[in-house]
Amino acid sequence: MRQLRHIIGGLLGASLLLSFASADGEAAQAQAMISLTRDQIIEGAKKEGKLRVVPGHDDTVIPGLVKGFQKKYPFIQTTYGIVTGIEAGQRQLFEMATGTSSADAFSPSSAFFNEYFSKNLIKRYDFRAMSKAGHLKIPLEMIDESGVLVWLGTNTGVITYNSKLVPEDKAPKGWESCLDPYFRGKFSVDSKPNVLAWLSAKWNDEKLLSYAKRLKENSPVFSRGNTRNITQLVSGEVVMNCGMYIHVVKRTLKHDPSAPIKMVIPDPFPMSSHEPEAVYANAKNPHAALLWIEFLASKEGQQLAEEIEPGRGSFLVEGTLANKLSKGANVALCADECRHREEKIMQRIAVEAWGLPKVGASPK
Amino acid sequence: MALTYAETAVAQGILSGVGRRAARAGLVALGFFLLFWLIVLPLLMVVMVSFRSGTPLELGPFTFANYALTYTYPLTYQTLLNSLLYAGVSVAIVMAIAILFAWLVERTDMPFRRLAWALILLPIGMPSFLLTMSWILLLNPRVGVLNVPLRSLLGWLGIALETGPFNIYSLAGMIFVNSITGLTTVFLLVVGAFRLVNQEIEDAAHVCGARKRVTLFKVTLPVLMPALTVATLYKFAGDLNDMDIPLLLGLQKQIYVLPTLIFFSAFYSTPIEWGLATALSSPFILIAISLSYAFFHFIIKQAERQKYVTITGKASQTRRIQLGRWRYPAFGLFLLYFMLSTGLPLLILLWASLLPSYRPPSWQALSLISFAKYLDIMNWPNIGRILTNTLLLGTCTAMLAMAVAFFISWIVVRSRAPGRFFLDAAVFVPHVLPGSVVALGLVFTYLHPAFRWLPIYGSIWIMVAGLLVTYLPFSTRLMNGALTQIHKELEEAGMVSGARRLTVLLRITLPLILPPFVMGFIWVASHAFRSLTIPLMLSTPETETVSVLLFFLWDRNADFSGAAALGILLIVAVSILTLLSRRLVEEAFSGRQRS
């Protein structure tokens, strides 16, 4: 129901937005890229003295990050907001489009990613140029190809299994195990196959779709969402899951070290850029926002996030879980172009290979 | 020219009369404006976008392509059929049980009637996704907590099964969970009417020689037609729009209904395919308007002729039907329902909430039991504020919803105002309209430069407004049904005695329909306590509610045990508040009747 609601809700809200000819937050016109020096950033932030952030991190992580940032920059009074779920993402988008958002730095919701760009809601700060010149210390690989957005985290997919129900000699070893008749009808896959879609960074579409079709022939149990997937696995309803987020597994094991879950790093090892962060086009405190984004990208900021939510830090930052696991692994990193194609690939897997319904597609 | 005292008084009287009329006209205009802004405008948007290409922020040219694609897709019809089957069978089951239960509680001498009432009300606090999840744990074919011992028992009897015997992942499973989830609402929609039935009508049937069963089917039930129709239409429309249960239970066997087809068709795309989503949603709006029209035409029009009146100026006393040896078995039905709707799901949720992460009941798992998840919730940052917000939200929404519904229903049922069908249809349509539509309507209302000065945006009051629109369909259905049973001679008597219309409404009409009014209050408050979509969209860290926290634990934290612990606390709290408020009002009502 919620999904239906946010589909229609988003649509209506956006349509209503069009009726606001007088809204004073009309999107900013396309601007040239802006580049500042370190001194300009610090001076500007000191003058501003305030910052409002709406990061994409989990609610439990944000207060710790804000505290860490305040410690580093005591002259910037920082407050935060939380955007939880797609419904709130819609509200954020419309607040920004009408110029009523108080955010300075924010995380564009992936569901409406293109709209932030098309409505020019992101300030055209050239992170790449500023980082190259040493005015901001952000790893260049974390910066989006647009240059105005920084990917602060990595999502990582693994194969998990119930260690009580699967004997060691039958334990999965990689993607081929998902095709093993031993697991026929006893393993689950998410009906929204993000993790499989990331493999397109290493496999071409033909190979990926062929794999997905063979997976379907092994009678997977389709389920939707992290909670369902992990509960199904721990309860023994299924004995293996092909494509679960690593942070979900780590979080469960953190709370319950005795949970009968083990994970396998498959080859290729799927990863995706995550936690985008940018400066809002109408930000009142844009300089402080730049320092905030730099802090989140720093080792210090990444460690703070990882302490509470292991597995969400960027694999580009030394010491994060994704970084450690990626060493020596055949990483399939879905970034930039792949990230933009991700939804289309996912849809092809779901519809063409698995036969899930989609209006306009040929029913299987 | 100086005016005399009398002239001044007359002038003031005229002016105040003019002022009153102007104020009344202004209020009516404001009411219609709000109705248009919050309900009609979003509906028009749905229709408009379904005929456009592009994304909502950058709409393309006019097109029929969305409809062409949607209605040439063979699965559309199959899912529509599934939706009708899912909603139709669920409604049939729920109506039959609700009527039986309402009759037993209000019209028979069944023992422990107060307890029976309580047993029916208890599921009201349980979020449907938690109830569905608990039934998955109980009846999933491989390791379902009920299936495993049943399988052993069957094996002992020589029937060897690898899975089952029950499979919750089926259309039958979906209907089963939907039926036990929706019974409380339907029961509340019909029970008030059973209480208001005039004994004299039944006595007349008995005098004419009719048996009890004949009296029930030929006399009592027809008189209750408004309430029964209201309940049927309300439940049917709601079930057509339900996605929680079909997505959790239907996906595995690939059983799709219209909302899940919309989910897969529109939401798995970037940009989201709004045109397809609206083209698929349009039938919901048409169905809602048709159902409203049917109700208006067949019930309200008949009610104008006082066809369903059961309360008149004549005093009457209700006599309970003797059940004889069926008294205790009848109560047993309530216990059975309680076990299915609350007892078993609550037990499995309780078990899950005591574990660090869920695993099936076993001696080994017993050693992991602790209250850690409950302590986590008690120590959650700002939990006091979250609870206060939730309480405030539920109570204010319920008070406003019932007050507004009372007046709207009075206009629809009692007045001859032109356009009252549209008023009734307009307040009913949000029942099939996604909650976030309402929320976004409010966001845009208060983001508009004309309204931005109002101190509502970002406060708890914007959530109250959103929930008010969402729950008005229920509260107006309840009031519509009740008002059709009150003879207007009672109001006329008040007017003849010199009372003003408002006084008549508040001193005569309202007390007569107090039982359904109170039930409506309890229902709205309980649903507002656990409502998710609107708080999720409109809350800020300062106005966060319990349901937002529940969503975080369930969806973002993937912590089923934590969500189960919060769910248990929510169910217990809502149940206590529900039973307490019902008891208080019941006593007050009984006292009023005695006096």
8 Å CB contact of B262 and A4: yes
Report residue A46 as tokens.
């000191």
* Cβ count within 10 A of residue B395: 18
* Residue to substitute from A120, A341, A358, A359, interface B, most B β-carbons within 10 A: A359
Identify the three-state secondary structure at position B321.
Answer: strand
Minimal Cβ distance to B439: which of A9, A186, A258 = A9
| Rounded CA separation A206/B274 (Å) | 29
- How many Cβ pairs within 8 Å bridge chains A and B? 283
Distance from the Cα of A134 to chain B's closest Cα (Å) equals 35
Distance from the Cα of A61 to chain B's closest Cα (Å) equals 11
A92-135: pLDDT as tens digits: 887 888 788 889 999 988 777 778 888 889 999 999 999 999 99
pLDDT level of residue B225 (50, 70, 90 thresholds): confident
- pLDDT for the residue B595: 46
Could you tell me which chain B residue has the CA closest to the CA of A92?
A: B537
- pLDDT for the residue B537: 74
pLDDT level of residue A332 (50, 70, 90 thresholds): very high
Which H helix or E strand runs over B478?
Answer: helix B460-483
* Chain B environment of A85 (Cβ under 8 Å): 536, 551, 555-556
pLDDT level of residue A2 (50, 70, 90 thresholds): very low
pLDDT level of residue A4 (50, 70, 90 thresholds): very low
B57-70: pLDDT as tens digits: 567 788 888 888 88
Are B250 and B257 a contacting pair, CB within 8 Å? yes
8 Å CB contact of B434 and A7: yes
Which of A6-15, A81-90, B74-83, B449-458: highest mean pLDDT? B74-83
pLDDT mean over A290-319: 90
B20-38: pLDDT as tens digits: 667 666 666 666 776 776 6
Size of chain A in residues: 364
A85 touching chain B per CB within 8 A:
yes
Question: Following CA atoms B108, B109, B112, B118 in sequence, which dihedral angle do they give, to the nearest 10 degrees?
Answer: 20
Are B49 and B266 a contacting pair, CB within 8 Å? no
Minimal Cβ distance to A9: which of B49, B440, B449 = B440
pLDDT mean over A327-344: 84
Question: Following CA atoms B109, B111, B117, B123 in sequence, which dihedral angle do they give, to the nearest 10 degrees?
Answer: -130
Distance from the Cα of A42 to chain B's closest Cα (Å) equals 29
Of residues B587 and A184, the one with the higher pLDDT is A184
ipTM of the complex: 0.76
SS (H, E, C) chain A: CHHHHHHHHHHHHHHHHHCCCCCCCCCCCCCCCECCCHHHHHHHHHHHCEEEEECCCCCCCHHHHHHHHHHHCCCCEEEECCCCHHHHHHHHHHHHHCCCCCCCEECCCHHHHHHHHHCCCECCECHHHHHHCCCCCCCHHHECCCCCCEEEEEEEEEEEEECCCCCHHHCCCCHHHHHCHHHCCCEEEECCCHHHHHHHHCCCHHHHHHHHHHHHHCCCEEECCHHHHHHHHHHCCCCEEEEEEHHHHHHHHHHCCCCCEEEECCCCEEEEEEEEEEEECCCCCHHHHHHHHHHHHCHHHHHHHHHHCCCCECCCCCCCHHHHHHCCCCEEEECCHHHHHHHHHHHHHHHHHCCCCCCCCCCC
- pLDDT for the residue A362: 63
pLDDT level of residue A181 (50, 70, 90 thresholds): very high
Judge whether residue B380 has pLDDT over 60.
yes
- pLDDT for the residue A21: 37
Could you tell me which chain A residue has the CA closest to the CA of B261?
A: A357
Size of chain B in residues: 595
- pLDDT for the residue A23: 40
Judge whether residue B95 has pLDDT over 90.
yes
Are B131 and B115 a contacting pair, CB within 8 Å? no
Could you tell me which chain A residue has the CA closest to the CA of B137?
A: A235
Of residues B19 and B277, the one with the higher pLDDT is B277
pLDDT mean over B352-380: 89
Are B251 and A191 a contacting pair, CB within 8 Å? yes
8 Å CB contact of B269 and A8: no
- Provide the residue type at A4 as one letter: L
- pLDDT for the residue B436: 57
Identify the three-state secondary structure at position B134.
Answer: helix
Collect all residues with Cβ–Cβ distance below 8 Å to B444 and sequence separation of at least 6.
A13, A16, A17, A20, A94, A98
Minimal Cβ distance to A347: which of B268, B538, B548 = B268
Q: Report the percentage of chain B scoring pLDDT > 70.
A: 81
Judge whether residue B168 has pLDDT over 60.
yes
Q: Which of A212, A215, A237 is closest to A227 using CA atoms? A: A237
- pLDDT for the residue A179: 95
Minimal Cβ distance to B56: which of A11, A82, A256 = A11
Of residues B330 and B126, the one with the higher pLDDT is B330
Distance from the Cα of A82 to chain B's closest Cα (Å) equals 7
Judge whether residue A6 has pLDDT over 50.
no
- Provide the residue type at B474 as one letter: F
Judge whether residue B444 has pLDDT over 70.
no
Q: Which of B223, B129, B235 is closest to B187 using CA atoms? A: B235
* Chain B environment of A355 (Cβ under 8 Å): 254
| Rounded CA separation B451/B303 (Å) | 40
Q: What share of chain B is helix, strand, coil (3-state, %, to 5)?
A: 75, 0, 25
Could you tell me which chain B residue has the CA closest to the CA of A115?
A: B57
- pLDDT for the residue B318: 63
pTM of the model: 0.80
The DSSP 8-state label assigned to residue B545 in this structure reads -
Are B276 and B66 a contacting pair, CB within 8 Å? yes
* Chain A environment of B358 (Cβ under 8 Å): 231, 234-235
pLDDT level of residue B1 (50, 70, 90 thresholds): very low
Question: Following CA atoms B6, B9, B10, B14 in sequence, which dihedral angle do they give, to the nearest 10 degrees?
Answer: 170
Which H helix or E strand runs over B171?
Answer: helix B171-196
A60 touching chain B per CB within 8 A:
yes
| Rounded CA separation A195/A212 (Å) | 12
Distance from the Cα of B236 to chain A's closest Cα (Å) equals 15
Judge whether residue A29 has pLDDT over 50.
no
- From residue A49, how far is each of A286, A290, B36 by CA, in Å? 11, 13, 43
Judge whether residue B272 has pLDDT over 90.
no
pLDDT level of residue B75 (50, 70, 90 thresholds): confident
| Rounded CA separation A316/B23 (Å) | 66
Count Cα neighbours of B249 within 13 Å in the Cβ-side half-sphere.
Answer: 33
Distance from the Cα of A314 to chain B's closest Cα (Å) equals 19
Q: Which of B212, B173, B178 is closest to B95 using CA atoms? A: B178
Of residues B82 and B533, the one with the higher pLDDT is B82
Of residues B163 and B495, the one with the higher pLDDT is B163
Average confidence score pLDDT of chain B:
80
- pLDDT for the residue A177: 94
Identify the three-state secondary structure at position B58.
Answer: strand
- pLDDT for the residue B315: 53
Residue with tokens 């069944």: B110
8 Å CB contact of A91 and B537: yes
pLDDT level of residue B469 (50, 70, 90 thresholds): confident
8 Å CB contact of A13 and B264: no
Beta bridge partner(s), residue B353: none
| Rounded CA separation B279/B277 (Å) | 6
pLDDT mean over B518-522: 84
Cα end-to-end distance, chain A, whole Å:
25
* Cβ count within 10 A of residue B370: 11
Average confidence score pLDDT of chain A:
86
pLDDT level of residue A263 (50, 70, 90 thresholds): very high
pLDDT mean over B344-354: 92
- From residue B487, how far is each of A208, B198, B333, B492, B509 by CA, in Å? 70, 12, 35, 9, 10
Judge whether residue A136 has pLDDT over 90.
yes
Beta bridge partner(s), residue A154: A273
Q: DSSP string of B401-426?
A: HHHHHHHHHHHHHT---TTHHHHHHH
Identify the three-state secondary structure at position B62.
Answer: strand
| Rounded CA separation B14/B21 (Å) | 11
B549-595: pLDDT as tens digits: 888 887 777 788 888 999 898 888 888 877 777 777 666 556 555 44
pLDDT level of residue B233 (50, 70, 90 thresholds): confident
- From residue B16, how far is each of A364, B48, B129, B372, B457 by CA, in Å? 72, 45, 55, 65, 35
pLDDT mean over A160-176: 93
Count Cα neighbours of B254 within 13 Å in the Cβ-side half-sphere.
Answer: 16
Judge whether residue B477 has pLDDT over 60.
yes
- pLDDT for the residue B17: 61
Minimal Cβ distance to A359: which of B42, B265, B559 = B265
8 Å CB contact of A8 and B277: yes
Burial class (CB in 10 A: 0-12, 13-18, 19+), B213: exposed
Residue with tokens 């109002």: B454
A115 touching chain B per CB within 8 A:
yes
Least confident of A257-271, A311-325, A350-364: A350-364
Could you tell me which chain B residue has the CA closest to the CA of A235?
A: B359
Q: Report the percentage of chain A scoring pLDDT > 90.
A: 50
pLDDT mean over A40-58: 92
